Chains A and B, each alone.
Chain A
Amino acid sequence: MPDRLLRFRRPAVTVPESGRSRHLDEPPLVRAALIGAALLFLGLFLVLPLVTVFVEAFAKGLGTYAAALSDPMARAAIRLTLVTAAIVVPVNLVFGVAAAWSVAKFDYRGRHLLTTLIDLPFSVSPVVSGLLFVLLFGANAALGRWLADHDLKVIFALPGIVLATAFVTAPFVARELIPLMRAQGSDEELAALTLGASGWQMFRRISLPKMKWGLLFGVVLCNARAMGEFGAVSVVSGHIRGETTTMPLHVEILYNEYQLAAAFAVASLLTLLAVVTLVVKAVVEWRTHE
């Protein structure tokens, strides 16, 4: 902050990248070794698999790739995944903002407990989360039987998939927003109130713009996980092809049937999502530092 002010007020002065003494820097050899190790690791475990996915996907040519994606089962899986994400992401967006607001802006008993609870889905294995819903809504549970009597299907159907996905992806938005809101404080909101803004005007014109980048990043992460979630969805979906298989489940089925090119073709779509997420993350970080 002071650096920027200085630069702003006296444009002629250039501030050195680092004001540290060169004696504090590591020897060149150590530096090279550290950077090399990091790059090697990244290449081996991240870039190589990523490249492999696309290479394998296009191994049998563009035609096979297109055919794999236009297969009715694949299209059903893509549609189901998009529908699930379209329901889950907005719900978790609202939940995340509300939860973050209540944790970061108010002080009350049990606030810390709430913070811990928000993180709960992260600390539970997704498979267990899925099982939880089977136990709650399955045919053996009272609630499940009651639902069945009223011809409502939750488990092995879209509602179950949405519930499990929503549970697993619940913390993303809140976790992005809580530290951001804490760091930003409430002075601007209070200022808006003293200047005559109503609660809604304050939220829309001050709070929302303040948190928009954090919010966007939370949504992107939430979306990536909602589309890519395997464990919890696998338990509740029942793997009915063309009906309750999402993209990750479809990839597994194809893979198990040795349709490698098709499996990798669908997987490449999911990977593309990861790349988009990374790009958005980079943009958001660049914008927030701006």
Chain B
Amino acid sequence: MSIVLQQLRKRYGRHLVVNDVSLEVADGEFFVLIGPSGSGKSTILRLVAGLADGDGGRILLGGRDVTELPPQVRPVGLVFQHYALFRNMTAAENIEFPLAIRGVDPGERRRRRDELLELVGLTGLAARRTTQLSGGQQQRVALARALAHKPEVLLLDEPFGALDAKIRAELRRTIKEVHRELGVTTVFVTHDQEEAFELGDRIGVMNFGRLLEVGPPHELYLRPHSEFVATFLGTANLMVGESRDDGLHLGPLRFPLATRPRGSFESQRVQLLFRPEDVAVKDAPEALGWPLLGEAVVEESGFTGSFERLRLRLPPIPGVRPISPPAPFGGDYILVEATRSQHQARRFPLRRGDRAWTGVRRIHALTHPGLSLLLAVDGSEASRATLAYVAEIARPAHARVTVIVTGGDDAAAGEELQRTRERLGAGLAALDVRRAHEAPLAALAQEAALRPYDLVVHPLPAAGRVAAVGELLAALDPNLLLLPIPVPDAVPVRTLVAVAIEEPAKECIQFAGRLGRHFGAEATLLTALSEGAGELEREQAERFLAAGMRSVSLLGVPATASMRAGEPVGQVLAAIREERPELLVVGKRLPRDTGAAAADGVLGELLERLPSLPLLIVRTEPPGP
């Protein structure tokens, strides 16, 4: 492996710009990092080149750990977006610079420089000053210069960002040729998907500092896992449909199932993706030959050169909810993007307002492996604050979020729906905002029974906590994150995991690690021994804490252990006073699906005395009978 990144992390203030990124790039591979601006892709290049210091993780180049090495000794060539040519030198002197620094003799320098100039197509321009070169030529010189000292790894940071379309296409070809010729391992950063598709052997998609998905271009385009990747790479028609035993259902359409989404639910909602070129448009339904979506009205048609773009408007389909393109506020129809070849467009011309039968050739169900969160909002201050908190933790975690809007009349709920979408915005693996007419708890329970969730987020009731939390535990299977009012406004970094409370400590520690790794959390594992505990018990607890620390650290969450003597609840409260954690994690052994759960025992006592602090209850099933 030429490049290995292990749990790389970079922080500016509280903000993680590179969040737990692990990646391997093979020898001679052309790897493209793509993402919106500010997603951390350029920072990764700077970390690899040694121009920025990471806050965690390791970087290996050619099998050698270079994490602590200065940029000069890393086997790297870097090409900057704005060329960064030495303005006081000619093109030739620029290219010879890394060789002159290394004391290579002038004859050899000239030979290598001419070779490189030829490679990048600049023969004859050696004597030009950099200011006498066009933008494209300058970037060619920069490329030659970055290759002069024969680096093992070539890094390109949006190299075509400042150039016009035609020059970009020429340079793309040059870079491809150079890569073919030299076979140097290359990492190319861009926000242009066309560039990514054309150049990359593999592509990695980044957002909010996380490397979301990695794969060959066609794989990411046709079979993405998450909503963000599906909509960021290319145009997507993304709808919520249903997955059943007999296949994927999108309204009246049924597609046989290739891979089964996660979970063992009889029928569950899934996000279904089809690309514009998978949409077939004909003048009669029998002419289609593909599963039929319905008769559409042409909203827009546009000429783009090699093909035609159509935006089609379909009447609502029962059981189908569009995600992308989004339905305009108040509209109850479904929009579908389609493309046709010019040949097809000539045979069946369509203008705005025309009608056409629409079918879908191929469909793909998204399967998101990350965290999934569920919450209900009812327009109250507390629920809005909860939503804001969920947005803070869901974005870095790239989580799938479902929000259920309850209460109020339909107009108010509609407004709340819209506002919720805006507030959570883009960048989540998936966002599902729905209206329910049931009471919040019933609506949550219904949703949790339909799809698997890792976490339900809920405000912590001010009074009657034990009974209220008992009700939540009885109704909902997932783990429970309870937020105090007022809700804290930052992601929890300092986490206290109280493993003293009850037995299911392992699950509790692991889940705390799974959650905390997304926002650079650090954990303290706390256990309380009774005053009269013997040497044996103490040793056992120590061994257990050490194992817990290992498994949390493995997830990238630094952990410390703390052992206290005394009654458990009192010790947890004392630890909260001393260490001021931003999240308390406790475990609770509860039977699922029986409704027989209560916030009793130590948890009940803790709830009654808990100060204003988010509380995560990780539940596990009791051992079988």
Contact = CB atoms under 8 A, between A and B. Distances in A.
Given A187-B82, A188-B85, A206-B86, A194 B134 contact: no
A191 B97 CA distance: 11
Nearest to B132: A8
Interface string A190-202: 1111111110010
B71 interface: yes
A9 interface: yes
A204 to B, nearest CB: 11
A195 B84 contact: no
A201 B72 CA distance: 11
A5 interface: yes
Given A197-B72, A197-B101, A192 B134 contact: no
Contact of A190 (B51, B74, B102, B146): B51
A201 B131 CA distance: 23
Contacts of B132: 8
A192 B84 CA distance: 9
A206 B84 CA distance: 11
Nearest to A8: B132
Given A8-B132, A194-B50, A210 B87 contact: yes
B60 to A, nearest CB: 18
A193 B82 contact: no
B15 to A, nearest CB: 16
A29 B155 CA distance: 59
Contacts of B428: none
A173 to B, nearest CB: 20
B87 A187 contact: no
B77 interface: yes
B145 A187 contact: no
Contact of B101 (A4, A190, A201, A210): A201
B311 interface: no
A61 B78 CA distance: 67
B78 A210 contact: no
| Residue among A9, A194, A196, A209 with most chain B CB within 10 A | A194
B211 interface: no
Given A5-B135, A8-B132, A195 B85 contact: no
Contacts of A8: 132, 134
Interface string A4-40: 1100110000000000000000000000000000000
B86 A196 contact: no
A180 to B, nearest CB: 12
Contacts of B76: 194
A234 to B, nearest CB: 42
Contacts of B85: 188, 191
Determine the main DSSP class of A at the interface with B: helix
Q: How large is the interface on A (under 10, 10 to 19, 20 to 34, 35 or more residues)?
A: 20 to 34
Contacts of A190: 51, 71, 78, 80, 84
A192 B96 CA distance: 12
A218 B70 CA distance: 33
B51 A196 contact: no
A209 B129 CA distance: 14
B49 to A, nearest CB: 5
A208 to B, nearest CB: 9
Contacts of B98: 195-196
Contacts of A196: 72-73, 98, 101-102, 149
Contact of B71 (A4, A194, A206, A210): A194
A193 B134 contact: no
A1 to B, nearest CB: 9
A193 B71 contact: yes
Given A196-B101, A197-B101, A209-B88, A191 B72 contact: no
A193 B78 CA distance: 10
Nearest to A208: B88
Nearest to B129: A290
Contacts of B70: 193
Given A187-B82, A190-B51, A195 B88 contact: no
Interface in A207-242: 209-210
A205 to B, nearest CB: 8
Contacts of B134: 5, 8-9
18 contacts: A8-B134, A187-B82, A187-B84, A188-B87, A190-B51, A191-B84, A191-B145, A194-B51, A194-B77, A195-B97, A195-B148, A196-B98, A196-B101, A197-B97, A197-B101, A201-B101, A209-B86, A210-B88
Interface of B: 49-51, 70-74, 76-78, 80, 82, 84-88, 97-98, 101-102, 131-132, 134-135, 142, 145-146, 148-149
Given A197-B97, A197-B101, 20 more contacts: A8-B134, A187-B82, A188-B84, A190-B51, A190-B71, A190-B84, A191-B78, A191-B80, A191-B85, A193-B50, A193-B51, A193-B70, A193-B71, A194-B51, A194-B71, A194-B72, A194-B78, A196-B102, A205-B86, A206-B86
Interface of A: 4-5, 8-9, 187-188, 190-198, 201, 205-206, 209-210
